[in-house]
Amino acid sequence: MAILSKIRDRSMFLILIVGLALFAFVLDPSSIQQFFSSTKTNSIGEVNGENIDREEFARLVENYKSQSGGRVTQMQAVNAVWNNLVGEKIFQSQLEQAGIVVGEKDIWDAMVALPEIQNSPLFQNEGGLFNEEKLKEYIANMKVDAEAGNSQAWLNWLETEKSIKQNLERMAYTTLVSAGLGASLKEGERDYLYQNTKMDGQFVYVPYSSISDDLAKVSKEEIQKYLEKNSKRFKSEASRSLEYVKFDIAPSEADDEYAKTEVMNFVNDREEFSNAANAKVQISGLKNATNYEAFLNDNKSDLGFDSGYYYKNQFPPAVADTIFNAAVGNIVGPYKDNGFYKISKIVEFAQLPDSVKSSHILIPYAGAVRSASIKTKEEAKKTADSIFALVKNDKTKYTEIADEVNTDPTKGKGGDIGWIRKDQAFSASFDKDFANYIYKNATGSIAVVETAFGFHVIRVDEQKKADRAVKMATYARLIDPSEATENTIFEKAETLTANLANGEKLVDVAKKENYNVQSALNIKVLEENIPGLSGQRQIVIWAFAKERELGDSKRFDIDVDGKRSYVVVVLKGKSEKDGLVVNSEILSKIQPELINKKKSALINAKIKGTTLEEIAKNTNTTVSPALSVTLASPLLTGVGNEPAVIGAMSTIKLNEVSKPIDGNMGVFVVKVDKRDTPIKLDNYDTFRNKIIDNLKGRSFMLFQVLEETAEIKDFRGQFY
């Protein structure tokens, strides 16, 4: 009894324990650790100490995805919302410090000035002029709808107001900063001299390429020392490098043969036992079928009936000749096409143009697609026949009546529909009766044609590139991997995963099994695309997990462009934020620089002599002229852009041989014979204004500078 009493007394404690046990069952250990962790937070980040709420951020991400119509990925939405919020908070603090306030009237004036507001028929009076009261009424109605529960339009409007306000604030701030940018007349004079002082001289140039790379090798220790010395320049974001083997779940030869055999079974009539009839029944094959759409649906073809017409060059070369040499009613196949096995019955051959230009006059009737007409079908037909009689031989009359009668976008264009390509005309989105008429009748033909939209008086105006085309009924079976095939591929992936877990090296297993090992280098924490695998955010999250160690591996199920695969991934490299880990990107920047420094030392040892001629002789080079060079255009003939060399020429004494100068392409020794300064001007205002314009033209860099100086903490990688 005492034990039972204690259990009752501690019932809430036991419920908590059971609850945590359930958590342990459905969550991994890292999730439970996060549950108890003191670092668990509801923040997605901070900007200058101001928190960005995680729940609010998630709501904005979902809104962004919804407004994009599903055209963006999760991470694209996350990054877009983050950039907007960071920009908003950075500018907000600047606006407060600058005392900039945008009022409601400013926002309203900017809103009514928008072209889409001014030109919208919703806000115009009978004379077609903008009416501010109509806009106010429209906004009031949206607010009423929102209070009644239909809030989406109102929320969108509030977002528009917010966007207008932000734009006004940023414009005001940018204008304020731009107003503070200036330059003195002295700076204008300096710029004038900088651009127009011309120098003549001579130089000796010893290219770095004259020294073999073997004589200027750079060690890992030298690279590491250089990195440490220039740590600010090379500090980077956290990154991970991966190696992986991909196992595509692709059909085997047996799967291919099975699909081919299955398709062949649908060519001729066959008998099958019917459970419903408790007897054998006759089932028509494609050869004797007449209702092709029903045949394909009843026999579960992997492709539906296509009523389009196709030219010879649109078929696989292996089967194109066979199709176009066949007769109507013949069966072609089985043949392989774009991952399917197919059998096709020739339905029709026709001489069809590639594209057709046509016009129409539409008389809709009650019940037709998109029709608001109250005419009966018979009345519409009678009207169409009357119009046809008037316009069949009179193009001017056709244009007049089309502009009077039509209510679609062809109104005002004489009924001109424009050019329609064959693939458009015979697609599901285009009326098949309209398409059949304009493609199967000659230029100049005109007739009354009934379509789903009503009665048209159609005229074929022009046709291009007529060629023989075919219409076919095609039964198709996707060549899919069988369960046995998928199991075999899965076992390969699992075996590799197990071998890696047991300490084997990926390179050794791959060599033994002839696997293709691929690399994905320097992946950042918020990336989702992995080279060769497309969007695989799950792998990036795994690679950046706190417990992840070098050499860890895992198998993932992935989908790349609709094709399923297994991929076994190994973590091969880790670089934390602001770390100094050597990678290929850093090496490509550092190595040439360090190699050229070593080559410079070797070249300097060869430079001996007091004149350019002596130096040229000792370095086996020649003395070259440098004529009319300027600081504004630091080019040396025969060498290229060398600002350090031209800069030295602007300061050394005339007729003196300089010390060796390390340039972009090699080591230089120069002598300046003449330095012509331009005539003095009475006023340098033009050059000062040019400096100011250049500064103001760089105002787009304002946010970049503010962002670099802001204190930003980013926790997105922990949640997405």
Q: What is the 3-state secondary structure (H, E, C) of 57-80?
A: HHHHHHHHHHHCCCCCCHHHHHHH
Same structural domain, 665 and 596:
yes
Same structural domain, 111 and 162:
yes
The half-sphere exposure of 530 on its side-chain side, counting CA atoms within 13 A, is 26
DSSP line for 121-152: GGGB-TTS-B-HHHHHHHHHHHHHHHHTT--H
Q: Contact, 363 vs 415, CB < 8 A?
A: no
Residue 163 lies in a domain: yes
Q: Which long-range contacts (CB under 8 A, 24 or more apart) does 636-643 make?
A: 636/203, 636/205, 639/205, 639/663, 639/665, 639/666, 640/664, 640/665, 642/668
Same structural domain, 360 and 460:
yes
pLDDT, position 700: 64
- Is it the case that residue 229 has pLDDT exceeding 90? no
Residues 6+ apart with CB under 8 A from 400: none
Structure-model confidence comparison of residues 116 and 612, the more confident one = 612
- Look at the alpha carbons of 352, 358, 361, 362 in this order and tell me if their dihedral is positive or negative: positive
Mean pLDDT throughout 96-107? 81
Same structural domain, 527 and 546:
yes
pLDDT, position 355: 93
Mean pLDDT throughout 45-50? 87
Mean pLDDT throughout 381-409? 93
- Is it the case that residue 137 has pLDDT exceeding 70? yes
Residue 89 lies in a domain: no
Beta pairing class for 198-207 and 50-53: unpaired
Domain boundary among 577, 601, 623: 577
Residue 717 lies in a domain: no
Please choose, from the candidates 496, 544, 547, 500, the residue with its C-alpha nearest in 3D space to the C-alpha of residue 522.
544
* Strand order through the sheet with 198-207: 623-629, 198-207, 666-676, 661-662
DSSP line for 569-623: EEEEEEE-TT-----HHHHHHHHHHHHHHHHHHHHHHH---SSHHHHHHHTT--E
* Strand order through the sheet with 563-575: 517-524, 239-248, 563-575, 553-560
| pLDDT single digits (tens) 251-272 | 999 999 999 999 999 999 888 7
Residue 522 lies in a domain: yes
Same structural domain, 362 and 345:
no
Same structural domain, 323 and 358:
no
Mean pLDDT throughout 367-395? 92
Residue 16 lies in a domain: yes
Which DSSP letter does residue 274 get?
A: E
Same structural domain, 458 and 544:
no
| Cis peptide leading into residue 317 (ω within 30°) | no
Rounded-to-integer distance, Cα 720 and Cα 524, Å: 13
Rounded-to-integer distance, Cα 445 and Cα 360, Å: 12
Which residues lie across from 348 on neighbouring strands? Answer: 471
Q: Contact, 28 vs 541, CB < 8 A?
A: no
pLDDT, position 337: 93
- Is it the case that residue 233 has pLDDT exceeding 70? no
Domain boundary among 179, 209, 224: 179
Rounded-to-integer distance, Cα 668 and Cα 659, Å: 8
Cα angle vertex 73, ends 69, 78, to 5°?
105
Same structural domain, 501 and 525:
yes
Domain boundary among 577, 606, 622: 577
Kindly tell me the burial class for residue 479, based on how many C-beta atoms sit within 10 Å of its own C-beta (0-12, 13-18, 19 or more).
Answer: buried
103, 401, 414, 580 from 404: Cα distances, Å: 49, 5, 9, 75
- In the chain, the number of structural domains is 6
- Given phi > 0 = left and psi -120 to 50 = alpha, else beta, which region is 121? alpha
Residue 98 lies in a domain: no
Confidence of residue 172 (pLDDT cuts 50, 70, 90): confident
Residues 6+ apart with CB under 8 A from 590: 223, 226, 227, 234
Please choose, from the candidates 537, 544, 545, the residue with its C-alpha nearest in 3D space to the C-alpha of residue 34.
545
pLDDT, position 400: 94
Same structural domain, 441 and 512:
no
- Given phi > 0 = left and psi -120 to 50 = alpha, else beta, which region is 176? alpha
pLDDT, position 581: 56
| pLDDT single digits (tens) 513-570 | 999 999 998 898 889 889 989 889 999 999 999 899 999 999 999 998 888 999 999 9
Phi, psi of 659 (to 5 degrees): -75, 165
Please choose, from the candidates 713, 531, 569, 662, the residue with its C-alpha nearest in 3D space to the C-alpha of residue 46.
713
The half-sphere exposure of 252 on its side-chain side, counting CA atoms within 13 A, is 9
Residue 607 lies in a domain: yes
Q: Contact, 429 vs 307, CB < 8 A?
A: no
Rounded-to-integer distance, Cα 359 and Cα 447, Å: 11
Range of the domain at 514: 243-250+482-562+571-577
Confidence of residue 624 (pLDDT cuts 50, 70, 90): very high
pLDDT, position 226: 81
Same structural domain, 527 and 593:
no
Phi, psi of 242 (to 5 degrees): -125, 155
pLDDT, position 475: 97
Q: Contact, 590 vs 256, CB < 8 A?
A: no
Residue 77 lies in a domain: no
Mean pLDDT, the chain, as a whole number? 85
Confidence of residue 38 (pLDDT cuts 50, 70, 90): very low
pLDDT, position 11: 40
Beta pairing class for 640-641 and 635-636: antiparallel
Same structural domain, 156 and 206:
no
* pLDDT above 70 as % of the chain: 91
Confidence of residue 50 (pLDDT cuts 50, 70, 90): confident
Same structural domain, 212 and 273:
no
SS3 548: coil
- Given phi > 0 = left and psi -120 to 50 = alpha, else beta, which region is 16? alpha
Which residues lie across from 563 on neighbouring strands? Answer: 560
Residues 6+ apart with CB under 8 A from 683: 185
Beta pairing class for 239-248 and 563-575: antiparallel
Q: Contact, 380 vs 363, CB < 8 A?
A: yes
